[in-house]
Structure formats: C-alpha cells, structure tokens
Amino acid sequence: MDFELQLGEIHAIVGENGAGKSTLVKILSGAIQPSAGTLELYGQPVGLLTPWHALRLGIASVYQERDLVPQLTAAENILLGIEPRRLGFIRGRLLLEQAKVLLQQVGVEIPLNVPVGQLGAAEQQLVDILKSVCKSPASSSA
C-alpha cells in the first residue's frame, strides 16, 4: 500500500474485518514491526519504530476501545502521565489551565472537572483523542 499524509491532517481508516486496518495502525504507532516494506517520514526512511519513538515523531493512535480512568476528571485523564508537578505534587490549577488551552487549540468543549465515567461516549472519545494530541511534540500545552 502507498499512503501519504500531510502535517495536521486527521484520517480515519475504514474497511472490512480482516482488511489490515488494525495492523497498519499498530505499525504506524510502533506497537508491531512490519514484515516487509518501508515507512518514511518527511521523505526519510524510519528504522525501528517503537511507541515512544512514534510519539516523539508526532504519531499518535486512538483506538475504538477507550483508555481512560473513569474516576479521574477529563482534565486529569488528558494530562495523565505528563501532569504539571512541583516538588512531586500535581499542580491541579495548572493542570486545569493546560487542559483548557488544549481545548481552545482544538476547538472543542467538554466539561474538564467531571469524572470521565460520567461523560457520554462521544465526550469520552474526545478525551482519548485529546490525550494523544497533548503528547505530540507539535502541541504547545504538553
């Protein structure tokens, strides 16, 4: 397959069961290695791609199954693992501000102080997408 993307584009991969959608996404996100072919980024071949390497390159995947902590707020889930800290303690007010900035950048509105377990399915999916966006090097809120 030959698949070309441009910076800032968002794509959905659709097809029948068994068509290779999940395999392609796992290869692009570094979860598995391809058995053949090459992957190029900015015209340069990418060697061994790991999940960490993929994130550093700005490649993020959001799967149908959500990866959220229902008891945490939307803001806490969005910044999970990259929370602003001082002396080892999470800075709650700054965390909320960073999440608000991200929402403004993306142009969506969701309640940030509500546990994600209380949000609807569409809002939960947005939280999962925002988690990926804020971990991208292109995002200024991370």
Between the alpha carbon of residue 5 and those of residues 28, 54, 133, the distances in Å are 12, 15, 16
Work out the number of other CB atoms within 10 angstroms of the CB of residue 27.
Answer: 18
The tens-digit pLDDT sequence of the chain (142 residues) is 777 877 777 777 888 999 888 888 889 889 999 888 888 888 888 887 888 888 888 787 777 778 899 999 999 999 998 889 999 899 989 999 999 998 998 888 999 999 999 999 999 999 998 888 777 655 444 4
44-45 and 40-41 as β-strands: parallel, antiparallel, unpaired? Answer: antiparallel
DSSP state of 71: T
Residue pair 72/65 in contact (Cβ under 8 Å)? The answer is no
pTM, 2 dp: 0.69
